[in-house]
Amino acid sequence: MEYQLIIEFTFLIILLLTARIAYVIHKITTGHSVYASKRTTPCRTLICIGSGGHTTEMLKLIENITFKNFRPRYYIIAKSDTTSSQKVKSLEESRNFAVNSDYYMIKIPRSRSVGQLYVTSVFTTLISIFYAFPILLKIRPDVILCNGPGTCIPICLISFFLKCAFICDSKIIFVESFCRTTTFSLTGKILTYIADNFLVQWPNLKKKLKRSEYIGQLM
């Protein structure tokens, strides 16, 4: 009797979780996410930094924002990325934020390297998720800004499930890479379902996803 009760209770929990996940995805993909009408406090911002072109695009995207409205800023960088930290530091210093506690750089394991097999990337992604979970739980950002690098997948997945669990309602803003003119990246295909705002830089991509927003070319 007790064994049957445990099975029924487990089934009920799984059913409720599935329903909650489906509901959140439906809200996001149909554009029914709820946004605060006006903020009166700075926006706690998490920025996923990739490498190479991804880093250049992201820094180009944020270089003109009003930094005092987006603080503190947490830059998530892959441990294997040896150059992006300096680029972030240079940007922050150029905005006269060289000596303060408004920004932090956090390094996590890369979920997928360029050219890595998708099969093996499953395991590296799980490692990255395990590593990043306590970071997200502590930061609880208002906004997550990303543009495609594998580093952002664990961050966005964790954020999505924290939202489903009513723990933290972070808004995910995804900007598809400039080099993606006709097809979405793997990251883009995944975030199609969980990114609150999906921004593209080419009209062809806007046609492929109705809820996406065409912002023109950043580069």
Return the residue matching tokens 């294997």.
80
Q: Is residue 181 part of a domain?
A: yes
Domain of residue 2, residue span: 1-32
DSSP assignment of 113-150 equals -TT--HHHHHHHHHHHHHHHHHHHHHH--SEEEE-S-T
CA 199 to chain centre: 13
Confidence of residue 3 (pLDDT cuts 50, 70, 90): confident
> 28 and 105, same structural domain?
no
Instruction: Kindly state whether residues 75 and 180 are assigned to the same domain.
Output: yes
Residue 184 maps to a domain: yes
Given a cut of 70, whether residue 210 has pLDDT beyond it is: yes
pLDDT value at position 109? 85
Pairing of the two strands 73-78 and 103-108? parallel
The candidate with the shortest Cα–Cα distance to 143, out of 89, 72, 212, is 72
Distance separating alpha carbons of residues 33 and 27, to the nearest angstrom: 5
Q: Does some domain include residue 14?
A: yes
d(CA 31, CA 216): 21
Residues 24 and 108 in one domain: no
Contact 168, 136 (CB under 8 A): yes
Judge whether 125 lies within some domain.
yes
pLDDT digits (tens, 9 = 90+) for 59-106: 998 988 888 899 899 999 988 888 899 999 989 888 765 445 689 999
Whole-number pLDDT of residue 39:
75
Taking the CA of residue 7 as centre, how many other CA atoms within 13 Å lie in the half-sphere pointing to its CB? 4
User: Burial, 29: exposed, middle or buried (Cβ in 10 Å; 0-12, 13-18, 19+)?
Assistant: middle
Q: Give the length of the chain.
A: 219
Convert the pLDDT of each residue in 15-39 to its tens digit: 999 999 999 999 999 876 655 557 7
* Rounded average pLDDT over 178-191: 90
Q: Are residues 69 and 166 in the same domain?
A: yes
Shared domain check, 13 and 118: no
- Kindly state the percentage of the chain with pLDDT values over 70: 89
Q: What is the pLDDT of residue 102?
A: 86
Give yes or no: residues 179 and 125 share one domain: yes
Q: What is the pLDDT of residue 33?
A: 61
> For the segment 140-162, what is each residue's pLDDT rounded down to a tens digit?
999 999 997 778 889 999 999 99
Give the 3-state DSSP-derived string for 28-95, with helices as H, strands as E and coil as C: HHCCCCCCCCCCCCCCCEEEEECCCHHHHHHHHHHCCCCHHHCCCEEEEEECCCCCHHHHHHHHHHHC
Q: How many domains does the chain fold into?
A: 2
Please report whether residue 219 resides in a domain: no
Tokens of 213: 């927003």
What is the pLDDT confidence band of residue 123, given thresholds at 50, 70 and 90? confident
Is 165 in the same domain as 178?
yes
CATH number of the domain that 167 lies in? 3.40.50.2000
Whether residues 20 and 92 share a domain: the answer is no
Give yes or no: residues 168 and 124 share one domain. Answer: yes
Q: Are residues 118 and 17 in the same domain?
A: no
- Distance (Å, whole) CA 189 – CA 191: 6
24 shares a domain with 107: no
Is residue 102 in a domain? yes
- Provide the pLDDT for residue 43: 93
